[in-house]
Structure 1
């Protein structure tokens, strides 16, 4: 039998829309149970709503909401009050094999608490609840539904590489970049987390139902709407705040100028989470949003999985390896040796004096250095002078 706290939070989830900060403020000030009692009483009629709003906003200035805005919030909730049945919703949750968790529970994603009054009153978890704890080291990989083959390939590659290094991949379960990210993580044999814009009993979109069922095996599908909740455009945008808050950082893989994925990046920025963006062809409108983030300084450039891990990793740790250039034989030489090698002619030998002059070194440094270059196989004597040993410039790989 669910306790009073879980029943109250489940009722709030059906009463108020996702991201309703008025509901969040009331729950913060009065608590979920007493707040629900207040909301039910205030919703009895316009006069009761106005009186209750004036009283509460006057008695509790920490609410942060004036009586007019509070009255409008009650007016939004009033039509839903008669249909509230939290016990029915939680029974449907039990039959589904899902769980309903609230901020006081151990399986609550702690990052969501940073949303303040926009924090959900509760969440429905379907799958392996243990995956929640992996969110402490996670990345949101997001982007357009109508992605290109390039975007899909990069999303899957980044997800596979990050998941292989123990980073949990988070996304929204949608077509395009979301689906590619989940598939990449699953291909690595790792759990992945999908936040839905509707109830977790609806594996939406239907075309990704098989993919989301695969996610359920070792990962999680999460939603803040009760069973039967229908996804809408506004709910998709509100869902994005959960993706950003639950994750250690966000990477926009491919997004046009007006892509909804940019709202996820904006939420991450407002929460002071790191944001990355993958560059695309400058001629591709599909990457216009990513280029905008990079140009405005709102994101760092991400090009491979190591850079994803660095983005969400420990400060000073998990650093991506510096890209190595082509190995050259002269890389092992010290500064004097490199200067002498550069000063040596390729064909006609030069005297020690000329080599010293061209290298900008003293005669004694030049003599000692030339001897070392000879031993290492980079220089040879020719008559009274010195030159590079034939073939060293090609092996060195120096630009012509």
Structure 2
């Protein structure tokens, strides 16, 4: 019991978890207070939660955090009426199915089943031919499918919602450790309905991400810290011989959209030497979080990535190779110091202190401000399978002899590391 809470100057964060999925409810007195607190939630893609909540009062899954606004105006209004009827439809997005399922029976290894999904319905199929690894594919030309598999206790094993209507969804290399009943759930986003096919086939263990398609997003919004550049062109050239690469530049193509991210195995979010003070308000961020929630993979690079808000900057002149991951350090000498082609102000933040499932492989060199600070970190989110790499410097500032090797190592780790 935290007692009565004075909402002015304080925000309430409530973490809930159901069926293996996390949700966060945030309440604040003002719009600006809410925006300030949202920066704390950047641990949605693996960052340092302890740092994000270091000045908060914690109790279980509840946190009270300062909004950093003196004399904060109370813009929120508490509805104390006893009317329990739902509010009228505001015309926004249609809700996902409520979770009520219609049993479709069993599906075996090597089988394909066909069914018709009604509006608002969710289908469940039982698979009990473990142990082993399986691939699950749902295909429909009629609706935007959502695919999920639950273990015998009802916890989510894996989940996919990356495509749109007609794209289908797949889960590859799902480990089934025993012959108990595992539940495959099929639903449609919004009010979709129609026929679909579901196939379960033998799979292979997945030690990394399957990456064939890459979208390189040049986020050149904000104010440049140096000459005003991104590394979109260099990345497209280096990756184009091995992958299908699409480029998107904010200044030319506008905010990144969910449609552009559909079907992309990897997003490289490159902000170059640009710095934004309100980066989380960009519509691109919503599309990116949707992409990650659907199991997409991410590389973030730049002197001041929008996810880090207005974190402190310090001069960065060189980086030092650290860590012992054989994929991330391949071709480099332990302790090797790499001088950048230019000294640039870059984020010097302890938000990226490594923890479990995270690998630090570059830190600030001896000629930089705050030497020893994190520069590059690779991380895995065990809940949704997202693999992320953070590089807190503009890629173009690395020597041209280093760029191909470092990028090859990052891609190698994404596809076969951890």
- What TM-score do you get using the length of structure 1 for normalisation? 0.27
From the two aligned structures, give the one with the greater helix fraction: 1
Question: When you count strand as a share of all residues, which structure comes out higher?
Answer: 2
Please identify the structure whose Cα radius of gyration is greater: 1
